[in-house]
Amino acid sequence: MAYLKNKLLEKQRKYLRRKQRVNTQVKGTNPEYRVIITRSLMHITADVVAVSGKVVATCTDKWVSGATKTERAWNAGVAFADVLKSKKITAVAFDRNGYLYHGRVKAFAEWLRKGWIQL
């Protein structure tokens, strides 16, 4: 039982270390807008936050169609790119929030890029 506890604590330590490193890098560039990704077991959510801390736009894949979670993240990225274009936001900093750039996070970011949003 102690082995499992230590393994979970190590995963949590690695996640928090990544999150701190990513936040330092993103905030160091002083971007006008940040896209912050939040991932749960079933869904992915993205928020655009201005420098002042105000949430400008938000998107989730709860109501997007797709057979897999990655496909839903793709479709949510396309929809979110359209929302950002309508708000005249063309460049954002991508804050993956400590998650690895893999799978759903990567799919969401790539489809934002294909929607002509500069990350």
Residue 69 inside a domain? The answer is: yes
The answer to whether residue 19 is domain-embedded is yes
Q: What is the full per-residue pLDDT of the chain (119 aa) written as tens digits?
A: 788 889 999 999 999 999 899 888 888 888 999 999 999 999 999 999 999 999 999 999 999 999 999 999 999 999 999 999 999 999 999 999 999 999 999 999 999 999 888 88
Cβ atoms of 15 and 98 within 8 Å: the answer is yes
- Residue position matching structure tokens 């736009």: 57
CA distance linking residue 89 with residue 112, whole number of Å: 12
Name which of 58, 60, 49 is nearest 26 in CA terms. Answer: 49
We report the CATH number of the domain holding residue 7 as: 3.30.420.100
Q: Does the residue 119 lie in any domain?
A: no
pTM of structure:
0.83
Nearest to 57 by CA among 25, 24, 82, 29: 82
The domain tally of the chain equals 1
- Angle value at C-alpha 65, between 60 and 67, nearest 5 degrees: 115
Give the structural domain span for 51: 2-114
